[in-house]
Structure 1
Amino acid sequence: MVFQRDFFMRMIEQMGEAAGVIMGLRQQRKNEEALLVIDDLLDRQFRMNGKLIRQLSDADLVRMMTTNGVVETANLSGVALLMKEEASILNELGRTEQGYPIQLKAFHLFMRLALLDAPAMLRTPSEEAADLAQQLDGYELPRATKLLMWEWHEGDKRYDEAENILHELLEDGMIPREEAEEFYRRLLLLPDESLEAGGLPRDEVIEGLERVKQDRE
Protein backbone atom coordinates (compact mmCIF):
# COMPACT_ATOMS: atom_id res chain seq x y z
CA MET A 1 0.00 0.00 0.00
CA VAL A 2 2.86 2.39 0.83
CA PHE A 3 4.47 1.64 -2.55
CA GLN A 4 1.17 2.24 -4.39
CA ARG A 5 0.64 5.53 -2.57
CA ASP A 6 4.19 6.69 -3.32
CA PHE A 7 3.82 5.69 -6.97
CA PHE A 8 0.54 7.60 -7.22
CA MET A 9 2.10 10.69 -5.65
CA ARG A 10 5.01 10.53 -8.12
CA MET A 11 2.54 10.20 -10.99
CA ILE A 12 0.59 13.23 -9.73
CA GLU A 13 3.82 15.23 -9.65
CA GLN A 14 4.84 14.07 -13.14
CA MET A 15 1.41 14.74 -14.65
CA GLY A 16 1.30 18.14 -12.99
CA GLU A 17 4.66 19.03 -14.54
CA ALA A 18 3.58 17.66 -17.93
CA ALA A 19 0.32 19.63 -17.79
CA GLY A 20 2.33 22.79 -17.08
CA VAL A 21 4.66 22.19 -20.04
CA ILE A 22 1.75 21.40 -22.39
CA MET A 23 -0.22 24.43 -21.24
CA GLY A 24 2.82 26.67 -21.75
CA LEU A 25 3.29 25.42 -25.30
CA ARG A 26 -0.40 25.88 -26.09
CA GLN A 27 -0.30 29.45 -24.79
CA GLN A 28 2.60 30.08 -27.17
CA ARG A 29 0.53 28.55 -30.02
CA LYS A 30 3.02 25.70 -30.26
CA ASN A 31 0.35 23.02 -30.54
CA GLU A 32 2.39 20.66 -32.70
CA GLU A 33 5.20 20.74 -30.13
CA ALA A 34 2.65 20.04 -27.38
CA LEU A 35 1.48 16.98 -29.33
CA LEU A 36 5.09 15.76 -29.53
CA VAL A 37 5.43 16.12 -25.74
CA ILE A 38 2.29 14.00 -25.26
CA ASP A 39 3.56 11.41 -27.75
CA ASP A 40 6.86 11.18 -25.90
CA LEU A 41 5.15 10.79 -22.51
CA LEU A 42 2.81 8.08 -23.80
CA ASP A 43 5.82 6.24 -25.25
CA ARG A 44 8.07 6.26 -22.19
CA GLN A 45 5.88 6.82 -19.12
CA PHE A 46 3.85 3.62 -19.19
CA ARG A 47 4.47 -0.09 -19.68
CA MET A 48 3.37 0.05 -23.33
CA ASN A 49 4.04 2.49 -26.15
CA GLY A 50 1.74 5.22 -27.37
CA LYS A 51 0.78 3.36 -30.54
CA LEU A 52 -0.49 0.37 -28.56
CA ILE A 53 -2.26 2.62 -26.05
CA ARG A 54 -4.16 4.27 -28.91
CA GLN A 55 -5.05 0.94 -30.53
CA LEU A 56 -6.42 -0.74 -27.40
CA SER A 57 -10.00 -0.14 -26.27
CA ASP A 58 -10.58 1.40 -22.85
CA ALA A 59 -11.65 -2.00 -21.50
CA ASP A 60 -8.46 -3.58 -22.89
CA LEU A 61 -6.35 -0.83 -21.30
CA VAL A 62 -7.92 -1.56 -17.92
CA ARG A 63 -7.15 -5.26 -18.36
CA MET A 64 -3.57 -4.55 -19.46
CA MET A 65 -3.06 -2.27 -16.47
CA THR A 66 -4.30 -4.76 -13.91
CA THR A 67 -1.80 -6.76 -11.87
CA ASN A 68 -2.90 -9.57 -9.56
CA GLY A 69 -6.45 -8.26 -9.69
CA VAL A 70 -5.43 -4.69 -8.73
CA VAL A 71 -6.03 -1.97 -11.33
CA GLU A 72 -3.10 0.43 -11.73
CA THR A 73 -5.26 3.54 -11.43
CA ALA A 74 -2.26 5.88 -11.39
CA ASN A 75 -1.19 4.73 -14.86
CA LEU A 76 -4.77 4.76 -16.17
CA SER A 77 -5.29 8.29 -14.83
CA GLY A 78 -2.07 9.43 -16.48
CA VAL A 79 -3.09 7.96 -19.84
CA ALA A 80 -6.58 9.47 -19.59
CA LEU A 81 -5.20 12.94 -18.78
CA LEU A 82 -2.74 12.88 -21.67
CA MET A 83 -5.40 11.65 -24.10
CA LYS A 84 -7.79 14.36 -22.96
CA GLU A 85 -5.10 16.99 -23.61
CA GLU A 86 -4.24 15.47 -26.98
CA ALA A 87 -7.88 15.46 -28.10
CA SER A 88 -8.31 19.07 -26.98
CA ILE A 89 -5.30 20.16 -29.06
CA LEU A 90 -6.40 18.19 -32.13
CA ASN A 91 -9.91 19.67 -31.91
CA GLU A 92 -8.43 23.14 -31.54
CA LEU A 93 -6.40 22.52 -34.72
CA GLY A 94 -9.59 21.50 -36.54
CA ARG A 95 -8.53 17.86 -36.71
CA THR A 96 -11.75 16.63 -35.10
CA GLU A 97 -11.77 13.30 -36.96
CA GLN A 98 -8.58 12.45 -35.09
CA GLY A 99 -9.58 14.18 -31.87
CA TYR A 100 -13.05 12.69 -31.38
CA PRO A 101 -12.07 9.00 -30.86
CA ILE A 102 -9.25 10.00 -28.49
CA GLN A 103 -11.63 12.27 -26.57
CA LEU A 104 -14.16 9.45 -26.36
CA LYS A 105 -11.56 7.00 -25.03
CA ALA A 106 -10.45 9.50 -22.38
CA PHE A 107 -14.11 9.90 -21.38
CA HIS A 108 -14.49 6.13 -21.04
CA LEU A 109 -11.31 5.86 -18.97
CA PHE A 110 -12.37 8.59 -16.56
CA MET A 111 -15.79 6.97 -16.12
CA ARG A 112 -14.14 3.62 -15.42
CA LEU A 113 -11.79 5.29 -12.94
CA ALA A 114 -14.77 6.88 -11.20
CA LEU A 115 -16.46 3.47 -10.95
CA LEU A 116 -13.23 2.10 -9.45
CA ASP A 117 -13.32 4.95 -6.90
CA ALA A 118 -9.82 5.93 -8.00
CA PRO A 119 -8.20 8.83 -6.12
CA ALA A 120 -7.99 12.26 -7.70
CA MET A 121 -4.94 13.14 -9.73
CA LEU A 122 -5.35 16.75 -10.88
CA ARG A 123 -9.14 16.51 -10.40
CA THR A 124 -11.40 13.61 -9.45
CA PRO A 125 -12.20 11.13 -12.24
CA SER A 126 -15.87 12.16 -12.09
CA GLU A 127 -14.98 15.84 -12.51
CA GLU A 128 -12.84 14.99 -15.54
CA ALA A 129 -15.60 12.76 -16.95
CA ALA A 130 -18.24 15.46 -16.42
CA ASP A 131 -16.03 17.96 -18.28
CA LEU A 132 -15.71 15.57 -21.24
CA ALA A 133 -19.44 14.76 -21.18
CA GLN A 134 -20.12 18.47 -21.67
CA GLN A 135 -17.59 18.69 -24.52
CA LEU A 136 -19.16 15.67 -26.25
CA ASP A 137 -22.73 16.87 -25.74
CA GLY A 138 -23.25 17.71 -29.42
CA TYR A 139 -22.39 14.20 -30.62
CA GLU A 140 -24.63 11.15 -30.96
CA LEU A 141 -22.65 8.87 -28.69
CA PRO A 142 -22.16 5.13 -29.30
CA ARG A 143 -24.12 2.50 -27.38
CA ALA A 144 -21.03 1.46 -25.37
CA THR A 145 -20.56 5.07 -24.22
CA LYS A 146 -24.19 5.46 -23.18
CA LEU A 147 -24.11 2.18 -21.28
CA LEU A 148 -21.00 3.29 -19.41
CA MET A 149 -22.57 6.70 -18.71
CA TRP A 150 -25.64 4.98 -17.29
CA GLU A 151 -23.45 2.92 -14.96
CA TRP A 152 -21.29 5.92 -14.05
CA HIS A 153 -24.23 8.17 -13.17
CA GLU A 154 -25.80 5.47 -11.03
CA GLY A 155 -22.45 4.75 -9.36
CA ASP A 156 -22.06 8.46 -8.59
CA LYS A 157 -25.61 8.53 -7.18
CA ARG A 158 -26.94 10.90 -9.87
CA TYR A 159 -30.07 8.85 -10.36
CA ASP A 160 -31.92 11.48 -12.41
CA GLU A 161 -29.04 11.61 -14.90
CA ALA A 162 -28.91 7.81 -15.00
CA GLU A 163 -32.62 7.74 -15.79
CA ASN A 164 -32.15 10.25 -18.63
CA ILE A 165 -29.54 8.00 -20.24
CA LEU A 166 -31.77 4.99 -19.62
CA HIS A 167 -34.59 6.65 -21.59
CA GLU A 168 -32.20 7.20 -24.53
CA LEU A 169 -31.10 3.57 -24.41
CA LEU A 170 -34.70 2.36 -24.36
CA GLU A 171 -35.84 4.69 -27.15
CA ASP A 172 -32.98 3.48 -29.34
CA GLY A 173 -33.69 -0.16 -28.51
CA MET A 174 -30.21 -0.54 -27.07
CA ILE A 175 -31.20 -2.48 -23.95
CA PRO A 176 -34.04 -4.85 -23.06
CA ARG A 177 -36.89 -3.58 -20.85
CA GLU A 178 -35.87 -6.09 -18.19
CA GLU A 179 -32.64 -4.18 -17.57
CA ALA A 180 -34.60 -0.97 -17.09
CA GLU A 181 -36.86 -2.71 -14.58
CA GLU A 182 -33.80 -3.93 -12.68
CA PHE A 183 -32.50 -0.35 -12.49
CA TYR A 184 -35.71 0.89 -10.86
CA ARG A 185 -35.86 -2.13 -8.53
CA ARG A 186 -32.30 -1.40 -7.37
CA LEU A 187 -33.28 2.17 -6.60
CA LEU A 188 -36.33 1.07 -4.61
CA LEU A 189 -33.98 -0.68 -2.18
CA LEU A 190 -32.37 2.67 -1.30
CA PRO A 191 -33.51 5.01 1.50
CA ASP A 192 -35.71 7.99 0.59
CA GLU A 193 -32.90 10.43 1.51
CA SER A 194 -30.54 8.87 -1.04
CA LEU A 195 -33.14 8.99 -3.79
CA GLU A 196 -33.98 12.62 -3.01
CA ALA A 197 -30.28 13.55 -3.02
CA GLY A 198 -29.89 11.77 -6.36
CA GLY A 199 -32.68 13.80 -7.95
CA LEU A 200 -35.17 10.94 -8.29
CA PRO A 201 -37.70 10.73 -5.42
CA ARG A 202 -39.35 7.38 -4.63
CA ASP A 203 -42.65 8.27 -6.31
CA GLU A 204 -40.80 8.98 -9.57
CA VAL A 205 -38.91 5.70 -9.27
CA ILE A 206 -42.22 3.84 -8.85
CA GLU A 207 -43.71 5.73 -11.82
CA GLY A 208 -40.68 4.83 -13.92
CA LEU A 209 -40.92 1.16 -13.02
CA GLU A 210 -44.64 1.04 -13.80
CA ARG A 211 -44.10 2.79 -17.13
CA VAL A 212 -41.43 0.31 -18.19
CA LYS A 213 -43.58 -2.64 -17.11
CA GLN A 214 -46.55 -1.32 -19.10
CA ASP A 215 -44.39 -0.78 -22.19
CA ARG A 216 -43.25 -4.40 -21.98
CA GLU A 217 -46.79 -5.77 -21.84
Structure 2
Amino acid sequence: MYQRDYILRMIEQAGVIVGRVMHLARNKRMQEAIELLQQAMKEMLGLGSKLIGALSVKDLIALLSKDGELDSAKVLALGDLMKAQSELQREGGEEAAAQRTARKSLELLLIGREYDARGELREEFNRRIQEALDITGRAGLNEGILSRIVGYYEEQGSYAWAEDALFYRLEVLQGGERELEWRAAVEEGIRMYERWVLLEDTPLRAGGLSAEEAEEGLRTLRQLKITQSQ
Protein backbone atom coordinates (compact mmCIF):
# COMPACT_ATOMS: atom_id res chain seq x y z
CA MET A 1 0.00 0.00 0.00
CA TYR A 2 2.82 2.38 0.91
CA GLN A 3 4.56 1.75 -2.42
CA ARG A 4 1.34 2.36 -4.35
CA ASP A 5 0.67 5.58 -2.42
CA TYR A 6 4.23 6.75 -3.07
CA ILE A 7 3.90 6.12 -6.80
CA LEU A 8 0.55 7.90 -7.05
CA ARG A 9 1.89 10.83 -5.04
CA MET A 10 4.89 11.21 -7.35
CA ILE A 11 2.71 11.05 -10.45
CA GLU A 12 0.28 13.58 -9.00
CA GLN A 13 3.10 15.90 -7.98
CA ALA A 14 4.62 15.76 -11.47
CA GLY A 15 1.19 16.41 -12.98
CA VAL A 16 0.71 19.53 -10.86
CA ILE A 17 4.14 20.84 -11.86
CA VAL A 18 3.52 20.16 -15.55
CA GLY A 19 0.19 21.97 -15.33
CA ARG A 20 1.85 25.02 -13.80
CA VAL A 21 4.69 24.93 -16.32
CA MET A 22 2.35 24.80 -19.30
CA HIS A 23 0.17 27.56 -17.82
CA LEU A 24 3.23 29.80 -17.63
CA ALA A 25 4.19 28.86 -21.19
CA ARG A 26 0.72 29.68 -22.52
CA ASN A 27 1.02 33.09 -20.91
CA LYS A 28 4.39 33.70 -22.61
CA ARG A 29 6.30 33.47 -19.33
CA MET A 30 8.79 31.02 -20.80
CA GLN A 31 11.74 31.74 -18.54
CA GLU A 32 9.62 31.19 -15.44
CA ALA A 33 8.30 27.95 -16.94
CA ILE A 34 11.83 26.71 -17.64
CA GLU A 35 13.04 27.60 -14.16
CA LEU A 36 10.06 25.90 -12.50
CA LEU A 37 10.66 22.73 -14.52
CA GLN A 38 14.37 22.71 -13.69
CA GLN A 39 13.60 23.18 -10.00
CA ALA A 40 11.08 20.32 -10.06
CA MET A 41 13.57 17.95 -11.68
CA LYS A 42 16.13 18.79 -9.02
CA GLU A 43 13.77 18.54 -6.05
CA MET A 44 11.77 15.49 -7.14
CA LEU A 45 14.51 13.44 -8.77
CA GLY A 46 17.78 14.89 -7.54
CA LEU A 47 18.84 15.47 -11.15
CA GLY A 48 19.44 18.75 -12.94
CA SER A 49 17.98 19.27 -16.40
CA LYS A 50 21.46 19.62 -17.96
CA LEU A 51 22.54 16.31 -16.42
CA ILE A 52 19.36 14.61 -17.66
CA GLY A 53 20.08 15.94 -21.14
CA ALA A 54 23.70 14.82 -21.07
CA LEU A 55 23.27 11.31 -19.66
CA SER A 56 22.32 8.26 -21.68
CA VAL A 57 19.07 6.49 -20.84
CA LYS A 58 21.14 3.61 -19.46
CA ASP A 59 22.84 6.00 -17.03
CA LEU A 60 19.51 7.59 -16.07
CA ILE A 61 18.08 4.14 -15.31
CA ALA A 62 21.08 3.46 -13.06
CA LEU A 63 20.62 6.76 -11.20
CA LEU A 64 16.91 6.08 -10.74
CA SER A 65 17.62 2.66 -9.24
CA LYS A 66 18.52 1.64 -5.71
CA ASP A 67 19.98 -1.74 -4.80
CA GLY A 68 19.23 -2.93 -8.31
CA GLU A 69 15.54 -1.97 -8.16
CA LEU A 70 14.24 0.72 -10.50
CA ASP A 71 12.10 3.45 -8.93
CA SER A 72 9.16 3.31 -11.34
CA ALA A 73 7.55 6.35 -9.75
CA LYS A 74 10.57 8.46 -10.63
CA VAL A 75 10.65 7.06 -14.17
CA LEU A 76 7.01 8.01 -14.72
CA ALA A 77 7.53 11.42 -13.14
CA LEU A 78 10.63 12.07 -15.23
CA GLY A 79 8.75 11.00 -18.34
CA ASP A 80 6.08 13.61 -17.60
CA LEU A 81 8.62 16.33 -16.87
CA MET A 82 10.63 15.54 -20.00
CA LYS A 83 7.47 15.70 -22.10
CA ALA A 84 6.87 19.20 -20.71
CA GLN A 85 10.51 20.09 -21.40
CA SER A 86 10.11 18.93 -25.00
CA GLU A 87 7.04 21.12 -25.41
CA LEU A 88 8.89 24.13 -23.99
CA GLN A 89 11.79 23.52 -26.36
CA ARG A 90 9.41 23.31 -29.30
CA GLU A 91 7.67 26.52 -28.22
CA GLY A 92 11.08 28.18 -28.10
CA GLY A 93 11.87 27.13 -31.66
CA GLU A 94 14.33 24.40 -30.62
CA GLU A 95 12.78 21.63 -32.72
CA ALA A 96 15.87 19.40 -32.79
CA ALA A 97 16.30 19.61 -29.01
CA ALA A 98 12.58 18.94 -28.54
CA GLN A 99 12.83 15.77 -30.61
CA ARG A 100 15.92 14.57 -28.73
CA THR A 101 14.16 15.07 -25.40
CA ALA A 102 11.01 13.30 -26.62
CA ARG A 103 13.03 10.34 -27.93
CA LYS A 104 14.93 10.03 -24.67
CA SER A 105 11.66 10.14 -22.73
CA LEU A 106 10.22 7.44 -25.01
CA GLU A 107 13.22 5.16 -24.52
CA LEU A 108 13.15 5.73 -20.75
CA LEU A 109 9.46 4.80 -20.57
CA LEU A 110 9.88 1.72 -22.76
CA ILE A 111 12.68 0.42 -20.52
CA GLY A 112 10.76 1.37 -17.37
CA ARG A 113 7.79 -0.63 -18.66
CA GLU A 114 10.01 -3.71 -19.04
CA TYR A 115 11.01 -3.43 -15.37
CA ASP A 116 7.33 -3.46 -14.35
CA ALA A 117 7.30 -7.27 -14.31
CA ARG A 118 3.96 -7.62 -12.51
CA GLY A 119 2.27 -5.11 -14.77
CA GLU A 120 0.97 -3.01 -11.88
CA LEU A 121 1.79 0.23 -13.70
CA ARG A 122 1.22 -1.03 -17.23
CA GLU A 123 -1.56 1.43 -18.01
CA GLU A 124 0.50 4.36 -16.69
CA PHE A 125 3.45 3.38 -18.89
CA ASN A 126 1.35 2.54 -21.95
CA ARG A 127 -0.43 5.87 -21.99
CA ARG A 128 2.82 7.82 -21.74
CA ILE A 129 4.56 5.66 -24.34
CA GLN A 130 1.76 6.22 -26.83
CA GLU A 131 1.83 9.97 -26.18
CA ALA A 132 5.61 9.97 -26.71
CA LEU A 133 5.23 8.00 -29.95
CA ASP A 134 2.66 10.51 -31.18
CA ILE A 135 5.27 13.23 -30.68
CA THR A 136 8.37 11.48 -32.03
CA GLY A 137 7.02 9.39 -34.87
CA ARG A 138 9.43 6.69 -36.05
CA ALA A 139 11.87 8.72 -38.14
CA GLY A 140 15.19 9.13 -36.38
CA LEU A 141 14.57 6.52 -33.69
CA ASN A 142 17.58 4.32 -33.01
CA GLU A 143 17.51 0.56 -33.48
CA GLY A 144 17.23 -0.16 -29.76
CA ILE A 145 14.10 1.94 -29.43
CA LEU A 146 12.58 0.42 -32.58
CA SER A 147 13.19 -3.07 -31.20
CA ARG A 148 11.38 -2.20 -27.99
CA ILE A 149 8.51 -0.58 -29.90
CA VAL A 150 7.92 -3.84 -31.78
CA GLY A 151 7.72 -5.71 -28.47
CA TYR A 152 5.51 -3.02 -26.96
CA TYR A 153 2.97 -3.26 -29.78
CA GLU A 154 2.96 -7.05 -29.68
CA GLU A 155 2.30 -7.11 -25.93
CA GLN A 156 -0.52 -4.64 -26.50
CA GLY A 157 -2.06 -6.97 -29.05
CA SER A 158 -1.56 -4.32 -31.74
CA TYR A 159 -0.24 -6.84 -34.25
CA ALA A 160 -0.54 -4.69 -37.37
CA TRP A 161 1.40 -1.90 -35.67
CA ALA A 162 4.02 -4.41 -34.47
CA GLU A 163 4.39 -5.74 -38.02
CA ASP A 164 4.73 -2.23 -39.42
CA ALA A 165 7.36 -1.32 -36.80
CA LEU A 166 9.27 -4.55 -37.48
CA PHE A 167 9.58 -3.89 -41.22
CA TYR A 168 10.54 -0.29 -40.60
CA ARG A 169 13.26 -1.56 -38.24
CA LEU A 170 14.51 -3.94 -40.94
CA GLU A 171 14.55 -1.08 -43.44
CA VAL A 172 16.64 1.04 -41.05
CA LEU A 173 19.13 -1.81 -40.56
CA GLN A 174 19.40 -2.83 -44.21
CA GLY A 175 22.68 -2.19 -45.98
CA GLY A 176 25.90 -0.74 -44.67
CA GLU A 177 27.71 -2.42 -41.80
CA ARG A 178 24.65 -3.56 -39.85
CA GLU A 179 24.13 -6.97 -41.43
CA LEU A 180 24.44 -8.87 -38.15
CA GLU A 181 21.84 -6.64 -36.50
CA TRP A 182 19.58 -7.04 -39.54
CA ARG A 183 19.89 -10.83 -39.36
CA ALA A 184 19.08 -10.78 -35.63
CA ALA A 185 16.03 -8.62 -36.30
CA VAL A 186 14.85 -11.05 -39.00
CA GLU A 187 15.20 -13.95 -36.54
CA GLU A 188 13.22 -12.03 -33.91
CA GLY A 189 10.56 -11.29 -36.52
CA ILE A 190 10.32 -14.96 -37.50
CA ARG A 191 9.82 -15.97 -33.86
CA MET A 192 7.17 -13.26 -33.52
CA TYR A 193 5.22 -14.50 -36.53
CA GLU A 194 5.58 -18.08 -35.28
CA ARG A 195 3.80 -16.99 -32.11
CA TRP A 196 1.10 -15.23 -34.10
CA VAL A 197 0.23 -18.13 -36.41
CA LEU A 198 -0.64 -20.15 -33.29
CA LEU A 199 -3.25 -17.58 -32.25
CA GLU A 200 -6.93 -17.76 -33.06
CA ASP A 201 -8.12 -15.53 -35.88
CA THR A 202 -10.30 -13.39 -33.56
CA PRO A 203 -7.49 -11.84 -31.43
CA LEU A 204 -5.36 -11.41 -34.54
CA ARG A 205 -8.11 -9.52 -36.33
CA ALA A 206 -8.69 -7.42 -33.20
CA GLY A 207 -5.03 -6.45 -33.54
CA GLY A 208 -5.46 -5.49 -37.19
CA LEU A 209 -4.08 -8.67 -38.76
CA SER A 210 -5.62 -11.82 -40.23
CA ALA A 211 -4.28 -15.36 -39.91
CA GLU A 212 -3.47 -15.29 -43.64
CA GLU A 213 -1.46 -12.08 -43.24
CA ALA A 214 0.46 -13.56 -40.30
CA GLU A 215 1.31 -16.65 -42.38
CA GLU A 216 2.34 -14.45 -45.30
CA GLY A 217 4.57 -12.36 -43.04
CA LEU A 218 6.24 -15.51 -41.73
CA ARG A 219 6.87 -16.76 -45.27
CA THR A 220 8.29 -13.37 -46.26
CA LEU A 221 10.81 -13.30 -43.41
CA ARG A 222 11.85 -16.91 -43.93
CA GLN A 223 12.47 -16.12 -47.59
CA LEU A 224 14.44 -13.00 -46.64
CA LYS A 225 16.60 -15.15 -44.37
CA ILE A 226 17.25 -17.66 -47.15
CA THR A 227 17.99 -14.97 -49.74
CA GLN A 228 20.43 -13.18 -47.44
CA SER A 229 22.27 -16.44 -46.73
CA GLN A 230 22.91 -17.15 -50.41
TM-score, normalised on structure 1?
Answer: 0.87
What CA distance in whole angstroms lies between the structure 1 residues aligned with 2:153 and 2:109?
Answer: 12
What CA distance in whole angstroms lies between the structure 2 residues aligned with 1:50 and 1:87?
Answer: 12
Contact 1:146 1:169 in 2 (8 A): yes
Structure 1 counterpart of 2:121: 119
Structure 1 residue 46 corresponds to structure 2 residue 45: yes
Between the two proteins, the alignment pairs up a number of residues equal to 214
Structure 1 counterpart of 2:199: 190
Map 1:1-217 → 2, pairs under 5 A:
2-115=1-114, 116=116, 117=119, 119=121, 124-137=124-137, 139-172=139-172, 173=174, 174-176=181-183, 177-217=186-226
Deviation at 1:69, TM superposition (A): 4.6
Cα RMSD (Å): 2.2
What CA distance in whole angstroms lies between the structure 2 residues aligned with 1:138 and 1:198?
Answer: 20
Deviation at 1:184, TM superposition (A): 0.8
What amino acid is the match of 1:208? G
What CA distance in whole angstroms lies between the structure 1 residues aligned with 2:58 and 2:200?
Answer: 33
What CA distance in whole angstroms lies between the structure 2 residues aligned with 1:195 and 1:66?
Answer: 37
Cα gap change, 1:203/1:189 in structure 2, threshold over 3 Å: closer, same or farther? same
What CA distance in whole angstroms lies between the structure 1 residues aligned with 2:17 and 2:6?
Answer: 16
More helix per residue: 1 or 2? Answer: 2
| Structure 2 unaligned residues grouped into runs of 5+ | 175-180
Cα gap change, 1:168/1:56 in structure 2, threshold over 3 Å: closer, same or farther? same
Contact 1:73 1:118 in 2 (8 A): no
Deviation at 1:149, TM superposition (A): 1.3
What CA distance in whole angstroms lies between the structure 1 residues aligned with 2:68 and 2:194?
Answer: 30
Deviation at 1:195, TM superposition (A): 1.8
Percentage of pairs with the same residue? 26
What CA distance in whole angstroms lies between the structure 1 residues aligned with 2:29 and 2:120?
Answer: 32
| Structure 1 unaligned residues grouped into runs of 5+ | none
TM-score, normalised on structure 2?
Answer: 0.83
Cα gap change, 1:179/1:92 in structure 2, threshold over 3 Å: closer, same or farther? same
